[in-house]
Amino acid sequence: MKKYLLCFLLFQAVMISSSAQNLDLSLGFGSYRVPNQVEYELPKMGFNMNFGMLFQINDNWEMGTAINHSVFNYEKASLANTPLSFGNFITSATVITDHLYFTFRRKVKLPLKLEGSVGLGLGGFVEKDEYYAAQNFDEERGLYTGLSWVRDTKVGLHFPVTYSIKKILANKVHLGIEGGLFLDSKLNTRGIFIGPKAGIFL
């Protein structure tokens, strides 16, 4: 049911955004980090790329859809002493996530002819966790004789909180910074992103 609801929500949002006469298309890059160890052990700083389509409702509000692609590494340090018949256990792992979401934002005029916005949204994520797992335990020697590469895929709902500051040039192009965080269904912070972005009004 979650998947069908999410697909319907995203489809409706894309249709609304695509039909806009004043559409803001933006592309951004930057850092991505997981601020806790709720799901992943010793997460490291990663990177993200995001693409947004926002319909300018009026001077105060905008709405639309966005896609955020992120990659980060983490360490399964608790498994470092896993006994193997050869070498050391590989603790490094990688998480690749695609966040898809609909967002509704409040725009604010700032000094120096800057424009800011802050918004909330609803969407879903597809997350791939890639790591190594020990296998073929030898009870006589008390160790594992093999390693396998594993990819676990998880799908779920999330709630994005986003903000941006931009400078509009010639009423057509804008440059700025965009950031935000993703909350899961238990309101745990899944990730935080920030970085420069550029866009154009169509």
For 107-137, the pLDDT digits (tens) are 999 999 899 999 999 999 999 999 999 988 8
Q: How many domains does the chain have?
A: 1
Which pLDDT score is estimated for 17? 47
**Does residue 134 sit in helix, strand or coil?**
strand
Would you say residue 139 lies in a domain?
no
* Burial zone of 201 (CB within 10 Å; 0-12 exposed, 13-18 middle, 19+ buried): middle
Which pLDDT score is estimated for 12? 52
Phi, psi of 60 (to 5 degrees): -115, -20
Would you say residue 115 lies in a domain?
yes
Half-sphere exposure of 88 (CA within 13 A, CB side): 8
Would you say residue 81 lies in a domain?
no
**Which positions of the chain have pLDDT values less than 70?**
1-21
Would you say residue 133 lies in a domain?
no
Would you say residue 59 lies in a domain?
yes
- Residue 23's CATH number: 2.40.160.20
Would you say residue 163 lies in a domain?
yes
Which pLDDT score is estimated for 81? 87
Residue range 163-191, pLDDT digits in tens? 999 999 988 899 999 999 999 988 999 99
List CB contacts of 130: < 8 A, sequence separation 6 or more: 93, 94, 95, 96, 149, 150, 151
Would you say residue 40 lies in a domain?
yes
Question: Do residues 42 and 201 lie in contact, with contact meaning Cβ atoms separated by under 8 Å?
Answer: no
Which of 188, 124, 199 has its CA nearest to residue 157?
124
Domain encompassing residue 45: 2-75+97-125+155-201
Would you say residue 32 lies in a domain?
yes
